Amino acid sequence: QVQLVESGGGLVQAGDSLSLTCAASGRPLSNYVMGWFRQAPGKGREFVAAIIWADRTTVYADSAKGRFTISRDNLKNTVYLQMSSLKPEDTAVYYCAADRGSSRASYNSQAYDYWGQGTQVTVSS
Distance of CA 32 to the CA centre of its chain: 14
CB 112 within 8 A of CB 106: yes
Task: Write down the pLDDT at residue 35.
Answer: 98
Q: How confident is the model at residue 22 (pLDDT cuts 50, 70, 90)?
A: very high
**Strand 119-124 vs strand 10-13: parallel, antiparallel, or unpaired?**
parallel
CA distance 71 to 57: 9
What pLDDT is recorded for position 103?
82
Structural Rg of the chain based on CA atoms: 13
Are the C-beta atoms of residues 117 and 5 closer than 8 Å to each other? yes
- Rounded average pLDDT over 9-33: 96
Summarize pLDDT for 76-110 with one digit per residue, the tens.
Answer: 999 999 999 999 999 999 999 999 987 889 999 99
* The pLDDT value given to residue 115: 98
pLDDT exceeds cutoff 90 at 62 = yes
Long-range contacts of 23-26 (CB under 8 A, 24+ apart): 23/76, 23/77, 23/78, 24/77, 24/78, 24/79, 24/96, 24/98, 25/77, 26/1, 26/2
Confidence of residue 18 (pLDDT cuts 50, 70, 90): very high
Backbone angles phi, psi at 15, to 5 degrees: 95, -15
CB of 70 within 8 A of CB of 81? Answer: yes
Question: Considering the chain, what percentage of its residues have pLDDT values greater than 70?
Answer: 100
